[in-house]
Amino acid sequence: MPVTETVQFLARLQKWNRIQIPVEVRWRFKLEAGELLNVRVSPVGGLADEQFVARLLSGGRITIPWEVVWALKLDKPGYMLRVRLIPH
């Protein structure tokens, strides 16, 4: 079942440029591994943001493309990000 409304949450950048989708969001929209999501990320306290399409991995994580990581200057794990899942 795809995301039907915009959902916003905070996430910490993890190893390998991944972020965890909260369990409440995955359960609410019945998200399964392999689904494509429209994602917009921005660093907390930053003005820039980037939008991309990501595939949900089996552990409930998505990988941020290296171009987005480079554009937002996210050079190491631990950054707090404001994440928005946007309906298709």
- pLDDT value for 2: 78
Q: Which amino acid is at 73?
A: K
- CATH 3.40.50 holds for 7-86: no
- pLDDT value for 88: 83
- pLDDT value for 4: 87
- pLDDT value for 1: 64
Positions in the chain short of pLDDT 50:
none
- pLDDT value for 83: 97
pTM of the model as a whole: 0.89
- pLDDT value for 75: 86
